[in-house]
Amino acid sequence: MVIDQKASHTSGLAELPSANGLSRRGFLQAGAVAGGGLMLSLSLPFGNREAKAADVFVPNAFIRIGSDGQIVLTMPYVEMGQGTYTSIPMLIAEELEVDLKQIRLEHAPPNEKLYANPLLGVQATGNSNAIRGAWQPLRQAGAAAKTMLVAAAAKKWNVDPASCRAQSGEVLHPPTGRSIKYGALAADAAGMPVPEKIALKRPQEFKLIGTPAKRLDTPAKVNGTAVYGIDVRPQGVKIATLAQSPVFGGRVKSVDDTAAKTVKGVRQIVRLDDAVAVVADHMGAAKKGMAALKIEWDDGPHAKLSTEDIARELDQATLRSGAVAQNIGDVGKAMASAATKVETLYQVPFLAHATMEPMNCTAHLRKDECEIWIGSQAVARVQALAAKAAGLSPEKVIVHNHLIGGGFGRRLEADGAVRAIQIAQHVDGPVKVVWTREEDIQHDMYRPYWVDRISAGLDYKGRPIAWNNRFAGSSVIARWLPPAFKGGLDPDSTEGAIDLVYDLPNFRVEYVRVEPPGIPTAFWRSVGPSHNVFVTESFIDELAAAAKQDPVAYRLALLDKAPRAKAVLALAAAKAGWGGQLPQGLGRGVALQFVFATYMAQIAEVEVSKDGAVRVHRVVCAVDCGIPVNPDTIRAQIQSAIMFGITAALYGNITIKNGRVEETNFDTYQILRMNEAPAVEVHIVESRESPGGMGEAGTSAIVPAVTNAIFAATGKRLRKTPIDIALLKSG
């Protein structure tokens, strides 16, 4: 299978087939392709609302079966290492009865109306929902296409369709031994009615789904031929690097470029309102030119801002009442009757994404149109914001999307494209704007800082009868997708804080939205749950300790109404040897969660040295993500997410002093390395439920598993990440 990395502008509409049938369910349309072939247009549903309002048919994914037998799927999700380009075609191939290799993927061009993500409502890849969104409709489309191909063959042979069978890309008629390949049937199939009822395979009939499929995007990634955004080289491209105001909201006061202009290879200095760029023949010259620039900045209103100011404001905010995210029973009354009360504060810091591919975007601005080369999780957003910056209408902005060298939410933002446009407006010809690692870390858009004030009341047996959590921090959704921020709440900020798996009869969670002055916030791997699961799973561990009970047994006793959660916890405990002896200085910690529609339990074995250094040796994870589509990808994503989360637990911290981010590169913003990586065991629970999300869940669970293990090893409860080694010193 070839992956087409090029996406030109809105050509999808022109290829829409003429409709000859619309299924009763209103998500599928069939038509003929020019040159002979079958085209299915799908409308992936948007939650429950749109499923009911199917009178307007707006397709956002397309399957073409050509007369050559080639099957092409055009879909809006992007590959960023999570295996989507392999798992999504599996859904169609399963029902269509073709080999995975027969399906070619084309990345969708930017078009918000056509390609909106069914769960996000915008054209973006995020929130671990590609498989969740595509699970039903893509299998149904595959089954519909198969039915139409079989009908075409049956008509040709003048036999009953029920006597025919589809297998390996052809229709067979076993009684007579005849067969025809799909390609030869595609044109006729386009004239067949779209089936009104689509029977899907039962899970026990799956041949592909549930088997480990080889990733389709990897060969080019091991021999240097894969093209990421940063690798594009349009004819005549110049390379630029930039310095943005070190203080958020600051402005350029003056630039002395005398020395920079004399650097060999430097072509041009571009001065913007709040940034300066050096344009050169190559990045080496651009960086040298940048080092030779003398820039004076007007620091603006945030010149004195520090992390402590932000933390204090959030702490104060948790004393105010917030929007009620969930309220069960009567917390006040239950708390008054509690035998024991536990109350405490938790907090998590700003975090950078630090994708291995630094931010970059290439732009070529011509008189009345513009071309952009980028690796983006949200191409339609890039197109819209770049068009605005360039003063063009969106259809005049051609976006070429490329492989993504790490997304984690950073590439859901279009700030890098806007910067490239601002610089390209001063440059004759194409310019590739490459951020240095320092710019990438110091001008990221950060995982928000959050503070939680949380309390619980226990009865005389130690069981929680009241749970009260009020937290404050930024809402990324409120900026990124304003319609989804309603009544002071959004689904991301609260995920993992509400709808807990535990049986808690009196339960209240409030959220206070507080935007930090000047600091841009954004999605991150696991965003809301990366904060909420740390708080809730640390706190339930505190309650177990207050009740003098084993952390696993304490949780199990609260799970009678959540059998899938109970099963993953019991499985993880059994596989990890929970309760077994560990040497002095080592501890086991557990965490359990239901986020991104996936149940997960993790148990970490952690060693704390006398000097306070923490080493995670082993992580056991049990997961119930519904039907596992590609089990090897599930394992890979969990291994990956665990490393990502351990980095956050041990090191992740963006601090602000005098309005600037203090961390600069991988020496001050550390990432977990090979010599620190634990062994990871993943146990996948057999399930017939619909698939859950997989890319992010592992990140949120590991953080409290590690801090709970530290508590088990040392008796010290850490209520803030990253862990403070000074607090853990014992010798």
- Cα distance between residue 265 and residue 278, in whole Å: 10
CB of 222 to another protein, least distance (A): 5
Binding span for another protein by CB under 8 A among 6-14, 54-62, 139-147, 284-292: 284-292
CB of 311 to another protein, least distance (A): 27
Question: Using the rule CB under 8 A, is 292 a contact of another protein?
Answer: no
What mask, x for binding another protein by CB under 8 A, covers residues 342 to 361?
------------xxxxx---
Of the two residues 40 and 680, which places its CB atom closer to another protein in the complex? 680
Of the two residues 30 and 230, which places its CB atom closer to another protein in the complex? 230
Three-class secondary structure of residue 211 per DSSP: coil
CB of 406 to another protein, least distance (A): 5
**Residues 490 and 521: beta-carbon distance below 8 Å:** no
For residue 219, is the peptide bond before it cis, meaning its omega torsion is within 30 degrees of 0? no
Binding span for another protein by CB under 8 A among 127-135, 390-398, 403-411, 535-543: 403-411
Question: Using the rule CB under 8 A, is 632 a contact of another protein?
Answer: yes
- Cα distance between residue 404 and residue 355, in whole Å: 9
What is the CA angle 581-582-583, rounded to 5? Answer: 130
Binding span for another protein by CB under 8 A among 30-38, 47-55, 121-129, 215-223: 215-223
Residue type, 584: Q
Question: Using the rule CB under 8 A, is 1 a contact of another protein?
Answer: no
Of the two residues 44 and 705, which places its CB atom closer to another protein in the complex? 705
Q: Which residues contact 48 (CB under 8 A, 6 or more apart)?
A: none
Question: Using the rule CB under 8 A, is 404 a contact of another protein?
Answer: yes
Q: Sign of dihedral through CA atoms 352, 357, 360, 363?
A: negative
CB of 669 to another protein, least distance (A): 10
Q: Where are the beta strands (DSSP E) in 376-526?
A: 397-401, 431-434, 450-458, 464-473, 507-513
- Cα distance between residue 297 and residue 562, in whole Å: 56
Binding span for another protein by CB under 8 A among 56-64, 149-157, 223-231, 570-578: 223-231
Of the two residues 250 and 358, which places its CB atom closer to another protein in the complex? 358
Q: The sheet that has 170-173: what strands, in order across it?
A: 165-167, 170-173, 178-181
What is the token pair recorded at 229?
A: 């955004």
Give the containing element (helix H, strand E) for 342.
Answer: strand 340-348
CB atoms closer than 10 angstroms to residue 207: 11
Question: Using the rule CB under 8 A, is 450 a contact of another protein?
Answer: no
H helix and E strand count, the chain: 20, 30
What is the CA angle 175-142-101, rounded to 5? Answer: 90
Question: Using the rule CB under 8 A, is 373 a contact of another protein?
Answer: no
- Cα distance between residue 608 and residue 725, in whole Å: 9
Residue closest to 85 by CA, chosen among 66, 64, 111, 108: 108
> Which residue in this structure is represented by tokens 């993953």?
568
**Residues 95 and 73: beta-carbon distance below 8 Å:** no
Binding span for another protein by CB under 8 A among 99-107, 229-237, 473-481, 608-616: 229-237
φ, ψ at 383 (rounded to 5°): -60, -45
Of the two residues 182 and 651, which places its CB atom closer to another protein in the complex? 651
Binding span for another protein by CB under 8 A among 209-217, 267-275, 508-516, 683-691: 209-217
Question: Using the rule CB under 8 A, is 408 a contact of another protein?
Answer: yes
Of the two residues 33 and 650, which places its CB atom closer to another protein in the complex? 650
Q: What is the 3-state secondary structure (H, E, C) of 154-196?
A: HHHHCCCHHHCEEECCEEEECCCCEEEEHHHHHHHHCCCCCCC
Binding span for another protein by CB under 8 A among 19-27, 312-320, 398-406, 610-618: 398-406
Question: Using the rule CB under 8 A, is 6 a contact of another protein?
Answer: no
CB of 402 to another protein, least distance (A): 11
Give the containing element (helix H, strand E) for 715.
Answer: none
φ, ψ at 284 (rounded to 5°): -60, -45
Query: Segment 639-698, which members bind another protein (CB under 8 A)?
Result: 639-644, 647, 665-667, 671-675, 677, 679-680
CB of 185 to another protein, least distance (A): 35
Residue closest to 371 by CA, chosen among 400, 411, 408, 403: 400
What mask, x for binding another protein by CB under 8 A, covers residues 580 to 619?
----------------------------------------
CB of 286 to another protein, least distance (A): 9
Give the containing element (helix H, strand E) for 279.
Answer: strand 275-280
Question: Using the rule CB under 8 A, is 534 a contact of another protein?
Answer: no
Question: Using the rule CB under 8 A, is 282 a contact of another protein?
Answer: yes
Question: Using the rule CB under 8 A, is 61 a contact of another protein?
Answer: no
- Using CB under 8 A, which of 228, 297, 523, 578 touches another protein? 228
- Cα distance between residue 640 and residue 61, in whole Å: 29
Binding span for another protein by CB under 8 A among 363-371, 389-397, 406-414, 541-549: 406-414
CB of 233 to another protein, least distance (A): 6
- Using CB under 8 A, which of 73, 189, 208, 403 touches another protein? 403
Q: Residues in the site for another protein, rule: CB under 8 A?
A: 80-83, 214-215, 217-219, 221-228, 230-231, 233, 239, 263-265, 281-285, 287-288, 354-358, 403-408, 434, 436-437, 632, 636, 639-644, 647, 665-667, 671-675, 677, 679-680
